Amino acid sequence: MHNKHSWAEPYKIKMIEPIVMTTKEFRQKALKEAGYNTFLLRSKDVYIDLLTDSGTSAMSDRQWAGIMMGDEAYAGSRNFYHLEKTIQDYYSYKYIVPTHQGRAAEHMLSQILIKKGDYVPGNMYFTTTKLHQEMAGGTFVDIIVDEAHDPDSLYKFKGDVDLNKLQKLIDKVGAEKIPYVSIASTVNMAGGQPMSMANLKALRQLTNKYGIKIMHDMTRIAENAFMIQLNEEGYADKTVSEIVYEFNLLTDGATMSAKKDALVNIGGFLAVNDYDTFDKARNMVVVYEGLHTYGGMAGRDMEALAIGIKESVQDDHIRARVGQVFYLGQKLLDMGVPIVKPVGTHGVFLDAKAFLPHVSQDKFPAQSLAAELYLDSGVRAMERGVVSAGRNKKTGEHNYPKLELVRLTIPRRVYTQAHMDVIAESVQRVFEKRDSINGMKMIYEPEYLRFFQARFEKL
Ligand SMILES: *Cc1c(COP(=O)(O)O)cnc(C)c1O
């Protein structure tokens, strides 16, 4: 049923936000002032902004109408009960604690469930998730399938857990040292790769045997469900909404950054099925975020989120969203540009090592490529390579990650197919002149999360 027509957007445009087209001279100057770091560019100087898909979605007229229906009562806001019911009906979880965004939910979950000396296995890591697990005294262990680390592997569910890796960890440290398995749908750091239902079912069986919980980072659950519908046997005739529900039912609770799939600019929540964890979180949220019926959100934001959740799991919406990302990915593949395969659901990742084989990793190929792309067309991308990986704490040397990538992240419902064409053409122009790109030297390096504020000079 979902193959009846092409992936055209199931909406039309009612309001527009002008963006500026700049000259090359202008961009040259702006880039120099930003120290050749796309994080330091001003948004007003960017033509097409692919820095992130977080909080950058366009809301619908229904969501904006919801904003006007905000009930800003300090306690017991009507919008909270709408949000709570929506999460129960669409996501299956019983108890909900709203937060200002995803990391606040991660903080509470980690503090409540992790004890010092515990291990938290996960399907690769996410920056904030892992940090909160470590701050609670836990040690993160990567149990994702090996294929996830290989940009050329065409494996369809690179977000899958390797059950042997989990079994080995259980045998080594004991199940009582593992409070939960942390799974993400989809896996951001692997390039937006999905986890299969079959793998989650097998994981559920194994964890049940040992009484280990499964906690779900459901930031991109709709995109993951769409990939299950598209590629997993037995799911072609189920709706994305049904698949989302079934997936969540196999887990014990979730943290959500609503700034991604749920189509809002700010928001998040912790959702769990056991009352004890809920009770602790509800008590903790008043210390860090706000009363348990608003967390860190205004009433209007909870209303927009409740509506956004319902829109996000509609088949036509998610097909168009992922379809647009695939369109850009396919275009780049046809041009012979090296990218991570299969194309992810929220962005296309350029393989900077293959793109600029003559630039050694200590000359920051991905950073250089992101800078050249902005210079060429005003398209802003993000480095995910040696700069993001930081330095080894003991030796002080750069960490050299296997994947040296430039992420072209596509905001939801924001850009058109013509924008995708412009992006692809710009990448192609930079690809054609790649021999003239010589890498960069870092001239300023902050101590923490250096990728945000580091400055560079061209070589
Ligand atoms: C963005 C993100 C988070 C953190 O959420 P925030 O809303 O930015 O705090 C956690 N996990 C994943 C997979 C994310 O993409």
The pLDDT score that the predictor gives to residue 3 is 55
The most confident of the ranges 63-77, 184-198, 392-406 is: 63-77
Q: Which distant-in-sequence residues (6+ apart) come within 8 Å of 416 by Cβ?
A: none
* Residue 230 reports pLDDT greater than 90: yes
Task: Report pLDDT for 5.
Answer: 66
**Whether pLDDT at 452 is above 60:** yes
Is 61-312 a domain of CATH 3.40.640.10?
A: yes
Residue bearing the CA closest to ligand 1, atom 14: 219
CA-based nearest residue to 250, from 230, 281, 268, 228:
228
Structure confidence at residue 125 (pLDDT) = 85
Choose the weakest-confidence range: 81-85, 189-193, 254-258: 189-193
Q: Average model confidence (pLDDT) for the chain?
A: 96
Cis check for the bond before 186: say yes or no (omega within 30 of 0): yes
Q: Indicate if the pLDDT at residue 190 is higher than 90.
A: no
| 45 pLDDT above the threshold of 60 | yes
* pLDDT the model gives residue 106: 97
Q: What's the 102 CA to ligand 1 centre distance in angstroms?
A: 5
CB 182 near ligand 1, within 6 Å:
no
Give every strand in the sheet of 119-122, ordered side by side.
95-99, 268-272, 253-257, 213-217, 180-184, 119-122, 139-142
d(CA 430, CA 424): 10
- Is 217 tagged catalytic? yes
| 268-272 and 95-99 beta bridge pairing | antiparallel
Q: Report which listed range, 27-31, 125-129, 382-386, 443-447, is most confident.
A: 27-31
pLDDT digits (tens, 9 = 90+) for 273-303: 999 999 999 999 999 999 999 999 999 999 9
CA distance 137 to 117: 6
- The topology (CATH level 3) of 24-53+315-458 is Aspartate Aminotransferase, domain 1 (3.90.1150)
Distance 191 CA to ligand 1 centre (A): 14
Ligand 1 mean position, distance from CA 409 (Å): 14
Active-site residue flag, 127: yes
In this predicted structure, the answer to whether residue 2 has a pLDDT above a threshold of 80 is: no
CA distance 330 to 421: 11
pLDDT, residue 408, reads 98
Q: Is the CB of 265 under 6 A from ligand 1?
A: no
Find the 146 Cα to ligand 1 centroid distance in Å.
23
451 in catalytic set? yes
Ligand 1 near 268 CB (within 6 A): yes
Is 224's C-beta closer than 6 angstroms to any atom of ligand 1?
no
Q: Which ligand 1 atom is nearest residue 104's CA?
A: 9
- Three-state SS string across the chain, please? CCCCCCCCCCCCCCCCCCCCCCCHHHHHHHHHHCCCCHHHCCHHHCCEECCCCCCCCCCCHHHHHHHHCCCCCCCCCHHHHHHHHHHHHHHCCCEEEEECCHHHHHHHHHHHHCCCCCEEEECCCCHHHHHHHHHCCCEEEECECHHHHCCCCCCCCCCCECHHHHHHHHHHHCHHHCCEEEEECCEHHHCCECCCHHHHHHHHHHHHHHCCEEEEECCCHHHHHHHHHHHCCCCCCCCHHHHHHHHHHCCCEEEEECCCCCCCCCCEEEEECCHHHHHHHHHHHHHHCCCCCCCCCCHHHHHHHHHHHHHHCCHHHHHHHHHHHHHHHHHHHHCCCCECCCCCCCEEEEEHHHHCCCCCHHHCHHHHHHHHHHHHHCEECEEECHHHHCECCCCCCECCCCCCEEEEECCCCCCCHHHHHHHHHHHHHHHHCHHHCCCEEEEECCCCCHHHCCEEEEC
At residue 389, the pLDDT reads: 87
Q: Whose CA is nearest to atom 5 of ligand 1?
A: 102
Examine residue 121 and say whether the peptide bond preceding it is cis (omega within 30 degrees of 0).
no
Beta bridge partners of 382: 407
For the chain, give every domain's residue range. 24-53+315-458, 61-312
Active site (annotated) includes residue 288: no
Per-residue confidence (pLDDT) for residue 4, from 0 to 100: 59
For the ranges 137-146, 376-385, 394-403, 437-446, the lowest mean pLDDT is seen at 394-403
The predicted pLDDT at position 1 comes to 44
- Check whether 142 has a pLDDT greater than 60: yes
Taking the centre of ligand 1 as the mean of its atom positions, its distance from the CA of residue 172, in whole angstroms, is: 30
Tell me: the pLDDT tens digits for 352-369? 999 999 999 999 999 999
56 is catalytic: no
Mean pLDDT of 128-154: 93
**What value does the mean pLDDT take over residues 14-43?**
96
Tell me if 54 CB under 6 Å of ligand 1.
yes
Report the pLDDT averaged over residues 316-345: 97
Active site residue 384: yes
CB of 56 shorter than 6 A to ligand 1: no
- 61-312: same fold as 24-53+315-458? no
pTM: 0.95
CA distance 267 to 257: 7
The residue to which tokens 């940090």 are assigned: 131
